[in-house]
């Protein structure tokens, strides 16, 4: 950003009180967390659940951004992205992920398309992890007519993106079917065909790719209401081997949408539940964080979700 834009963004950032446990944010309902680690700071990007109680439907128009240096004290930045920033989109600021490449930050986000029936994935770009972000293409990267096999209009959701050791970026996404495709180095165009990930048992949605000690992990929402499960592979193109359940259904929410990161020597599972009394629900969700541990063979230990 221009120096003045950056200053404005930082002036408005707000230090949030420490909650003392899960959920970590209680002043707003936050859902579908993704996380980015950069220069000793972790950024959480989340959708904003705005459905007033007792409405039980998704009302989501913008994404939120929080940062921390210690996973305890969090700063909220002004909303860096809104569905209105994608002129071709109708509504529904659903799940998203931000990744850095060559000093630029690319934000992949699922929304409802304005003219092509169904959900679509857009990409926005910024020079800063806290934005402001702008539509990088002026059109959707993925639309429902590009993936016709699933026969539902919401299969193009929940993007996760990863750049492998050969500098090849991959986008994974999906509901019912888990799709993946290579991205060109510009991060805004597909580089080859859309393929399907095989071997994921009971895949519902919310894929998340991470790497730890030489293994790739594809964690995802399993069945519905959702548990979390995962598969492991030595390469992003597979073969993926299903490894089992990572945790059980999140309190009072039929979705749980996880992100997994390593930060300052500790691994974390970041997800949402619907546990804030009294209005918390599947449509008024809250971001939570728990420690994550690995076994010697690389498998992940089951996470027992906590309120601490
Ligand atoms: O927040 C809307 C949708 O609910 C997400 O895209 C899914 O992962 C589920 O959490």
ipTM of the complex: 0.98
Ligand 1 atom at shortest distance from the alpha carbon of 60 = 1
Q: Quick one: which of 23, 25, 22, 17 has its CA closest to 73?
A: 17
Q: Atom 3 in ligand 1: which residue has the minimum CA distance?
A: 94
- The SS3 assignment for 85 reads helix
Q: How far apart are CA 296 and CA 181, in angstroms?
A: 31
Q: Atom 9 in ligand 1: which residue has the minimum CA distance?
A: 255
- Ligand 1 probe mutation, 93, 158, 228, 274, most atoms within 8 A of CB: 158
Query: How many Å lie between the centroid of ligand 1 and the Cα of residue 254?
Result: 10
Q: What is the pLDDT of residue 305?
A: 82
Q: How far apart are CA 160 and CA 259, in angstroms?
A: 9
Query: How many Å lie between the centroid of ligand 1 and the Cα of residue 7?
Result: 33
48 lines ligand 1 (CB under 6 A): no
Q: What is the pLDDT of residues 125-138, one digit of tens each?
A: 999 999 999 999 99
- The H-or-E segment that residue 8 falls in is helix 3-12
Q: How far apart are CA 33 and CA 228, in angstroms?
A: 14
Ligand 1 atom at shortest distance from the alpha carbon of 47 = 1
**Using an 8 Å Cβ cutoff, are 129 and 175 in contact?**
no
Q: How far apart are CA 84 and CA 237, in angstroms?
A: 34
Name 210's bridge partners: 217
**Using an 8 Å Cβ cutoff, are 86 and 150 in contact?**
no
- The H-or-E segment that residue 7 falls in is helix 3-12
47 lines ligand 1 (CB under 6 A): yes
Q: What is the pLDDT of residue 228?
A: 97
Query: How many Å lie between the centroid of ligand 1 and the Cα of residue 94?
Result: 6
Ligand 1 atom at shortest distance from the alpha carbon of 205 = 8
pTM of the model: 0.95
Q: Quick one: which of 127, 208, 216, 219 has its CA closest to 173?
A: 208
- The H-or-E segment that residue 126 falls in is strand 119-126
Q: What is the pLDDT of residues 61-94, one digit of tens each?
A: 999 999 999 999 999 999 999 999 999 999 999 9
93 lines ligand 1 (CB under 6 A): no
Q: What is the pLDDT of residue 7?
A: 45
217 lines ligand 1 (CB under 6 A): no
> What is the phi/psi pair of residue 211, to 5°?
-125, 140
**Using an 8 Å Cβ cutoff, are 267 and 260 in contact?**
yes
Using only C-alpha atoms, the chain has a radius of gyration, in whole angstroms, of 18
Q: How far apart are CA 29 and CA 5, in angstroms?
A: 27
* Segments of the chain with pLDDT less than 70: 1-11
Query: How many Å lie between the centroid of ligand 1 and the Cα of residue 5?
Result: 31
């Amino acid at each position: 950003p221009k120096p003045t834009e950056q200053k404005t963004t930082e002036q408005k950032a707000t230090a949030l009180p420490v909650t003392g446990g899960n959920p970590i944010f209680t002043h707003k309902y936050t859902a579908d967390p993704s996380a980015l680690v950069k220069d000793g700071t972790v950024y959480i990007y989340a959708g904003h659940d705005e459905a007033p109680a007792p409405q039980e439907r998704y009302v989501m128009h913008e994404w939120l951004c929080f940062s921390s240096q210690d996973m305890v004290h969090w700063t909220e930045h002004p909303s860096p992205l809104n569905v209105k920033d994608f002129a071709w989109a109708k509504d529904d600021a659903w799940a998203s992920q931000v990744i850095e490449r060559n000093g630029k930050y690319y934000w992949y986000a699922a929304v409802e398309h304005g003219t092509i029936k169904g959900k679509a994935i857009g990409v926005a770009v910024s020079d800063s992890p806290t934005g402001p972000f702008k539509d990088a293409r002026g059109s959707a990267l993925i639309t429902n007519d590009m993936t016709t096999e699933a026969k539902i209009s919401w299969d193009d959701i929940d993007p996760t993106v990863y750049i492998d050791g050969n500098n090849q970026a991959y986008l994974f996404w999906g509901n019912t079917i888990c799709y993946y495709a290579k991205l060109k180095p510009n991060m805004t165009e597909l580089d080859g065909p859309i393929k399907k990930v095989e071997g994921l048992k009971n895949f519902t949605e919310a894929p998340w790719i991470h790497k730890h000690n030489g293994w790739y992990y594809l964690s995802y929402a399993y069945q519905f209401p959702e548990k979390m499960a995962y598969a492991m592979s030595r390469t992003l193109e597979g073969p993926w081997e299903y490894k089992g359940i990572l945790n059980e259904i999140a309190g009072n929410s039929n979705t749980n949408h996880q992100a997994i990161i390593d930060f300052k020597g500790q691994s974390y599972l970041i997800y949402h539940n619907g546990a804030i009394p009294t209005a918390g629900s599947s449509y008024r969700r809250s971001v939570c964080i728990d420690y994550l541990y690995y076994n010697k063979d690389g498998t992940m230990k089951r996470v027992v979700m906590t309120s601490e």
